[in-house]
Structure 1
Amino acid sequence: MNKISAKLLGFVVKAQKHASHWACVTVTVIIATMATSATAEINLTFGSYAADKPTYTVKMYRPFLQYLAQEMTKILGEQVNIKMRITKEYETSIDQLANGEVDFSRFGPASYITVFEREPKIQIIAIESNKGSKRFKGAIAVHADSPIQSLSELKNKSFAFGDQLSTIGRYLAQSHLLDAGISSKELSGYDYLGRHDRVGAAVAAGRFTAGALKESTLSKLIRSGVPIRAMHEFDNVTKPWLAAAGMDPDVLAAIREVMLELKDAELLGDIAEDGFLEGSDADYDIIRQAMKHSKMF
């Protein structure tokens, strides 16, 4: 690498604003330890969207991506650098993976299905493990003091959804509401608030009677004193990590090897504290069914 034998670990966070709102955060992760035999660099960009606060999302990914780049450097014998691109909108992140603007991504199931329909050559690297399972919970929450105990009681009430492409925040929630005999016509009103934490805050503030959000965000909000509770829970499939079409097979294999072998809960943090499992497209068939069903909402 010319006269440079090592690079300091650096994290550069740059908020790019379009018009008058936050649009994207870019974090550059450069690993200090290089393979001594390295003769070239492999530069990768990881992309995802902020389902919670962008600052929290960036902080959540840092340790894992640092470790991933370090271990891939050892496997491939070339310096691996990983940049992070977190977008505000689900659709923007989907576009970036479909168009090859990022090399690999972490998406929710519905976003995976959406991007796969656009670019069938996208591959699943691995999917997250939840205590050895490929399933975890989503929830429909109400205010802590609400007397509502069932979905059917939400008739003529208001509802907060997440992003319009969110698995839990839209598709699964709408599918379960339909199963309870509630479509958009039976609600007094509804809106899409984008992020899970915004849904929880809106329900707690009384702006909506109920809302859909992931269990981990719900638990975090409750621990911080937000007055909400889970009224109904449902299964979701854990998140897939995806490789863009055309990724070098050796690079893909290295990412997969590191992910499947990693068991360190501290490194995995809030991403996948139980590690990763091998996954396939068929794992997400139940989400495809929910997405189809939600069209009746």
Structure 2
Amino acid sequence: MKTKYVILWMLIGSVSPLACADTLTLGIVPQQSAKKLARLWTPITGYLSEKAGVKITFSTARDIPTFEKRLLAGEYDIAYMNPYHFTVFNQKPGYQALAKQKDKVIKGIVVVAEDSPIQSLQELDGTSLAFPSPAAFAASVLPRAKMTQDGINFSPKYVSSHDSVYLTVSKGLFPAGGGVMRTFNNTDPKVREGLRVLWTTPGYTPHAIATHPDLNEETRLRIQQALLSMNTDPQGQKLLKTINFKGIEVASNADWDDVRALNIKLLQHLLD
């Protein structure tokens, strides 16, 4: 559509400035089902669209490896990604930190069935364990590293999402599995009540909200301000509560140096 016609339609009120803006995609790491993520994040993208004055739409992927490929290809304008993902995709294609959950460290957990006799990680020796994906930072990388360090032999089975881990463990298909407290608290209460946390990892800088390097600085700042406005706006506070966020704060690339210090190489092949 030619620019003069867009301007004319805006002047006569047929089209709002927001409707004429380019649409940006917010890609959410698929820790949970696409249906659940859409239910939680679509209202948030609507809020951010209104506050930032640019249309933002929800997007995800069928599984974490697909999400990783899309990040590498730069398919998301804005992305909510795990801490290790940020250290990788900050290098290539160059996603830039925008914000993160306020006053939060991410901790991985290993869960077992509520009535399981297992009381320690050592008792998982020789078993098959459920994890979301190889590069799921707190839910997979950290617990696997701990068990390997402790000489615990196990076979990892990747079941595509945190919710799948919780469901399969609750059904007795695996004796234990990895997750994080936020998704554990957000999973189906009927499933959660059938589980207990066996072990918790140390804490690290949480997930990053980052923007594609091609996104202009003015738009970046408007989105950042929209995110920060959620801390004090009643509607924003309500939306944050739905994803178990206490608040949002400004982030810089260096905030994830604690994760970089772990020198994880799982996705190094994507950068070579």
Q: Which residue of 1 aligns with 2:3?
A: none
Greater share of helix: 2
Q: 2 CA distance for matches of 1:87 and 1:258?
A: 25
1:63 and 1:97 mapped to 2: Cα distance?
Answer: 23
Q: Distance in 1 between matches of 2:110 and 2:33?
A: 20
CA deviations on 1:15-58 (whole Å, 9 max, x unpaired) are xxxxxxxxxxxxxxxxxxx46xx895232122223211110101
Q: Using the alignment, how far apart are the partners of 2:206 and 2:213 within structure 1? A: 22
2:9 match: secondary structure: coil
Residue 293 of structure 1 deviates from its aligned partner by: 8.4
State the Cα distance separating 1:265 from its structure 2 match. 2.0
Superposition RMSD on alpha carbons, in Å? Answer: 2.5
Structure-2 change in CA distance of 1:166 and 1:67 (3 Å): same
Q: TM-score, normalised by structure 2?
A: 0.83
**3-state SS of paired residue (1:50):** coil
1:127 to 79, 95, 100: 100
Amino acid in the other structure paired with 2:243: I
User: Could you tell me which of 41, 46, 49 is aligned with 1:66?
Assistant: 46
TM-score calculated relative to the size of structure 1: 0.76
- Unpaired runs of at least 5, structure 2: 1-5, 268-272
Q: Which residue of 118, 122, 126 corresponds with 1:148? A: 118
CA shift in 2, pair 1:176/1:42, >3 Å: same
* Number of aligned residue pairs: 253
Q: 5 Å matches for 1:100-249?
A: 100-119=74-93, 121-129=94-102, 133-182=103-152, 186-187=153-154, 189-221=155-187, 223-226=189-192, 227-234=194-201, 235-249=203-217
SS of 1:42's equivalent in the other structure is coil
Give the aligned residue type for 1:273: F
- Mind listing any 5+ residue stretches in structure 1 that lack a counterpart? 8-33, 74-79
Q: What CA distance in whole angstroms lies between the structure 2 residues aligned with 1:247 and 1:294? A: 28
Deviates more, 1:194-203 or 1:45-54: 45-54
Instruction: Give the structure, 1 or 2, with the largest relative contact order (CA under 8 Å, sep 6 or more).
Output: 2
**Structure 1 residue 65: Cα displacement:** 0.9
Q: Does 1:99 align with 2:79?
A: no
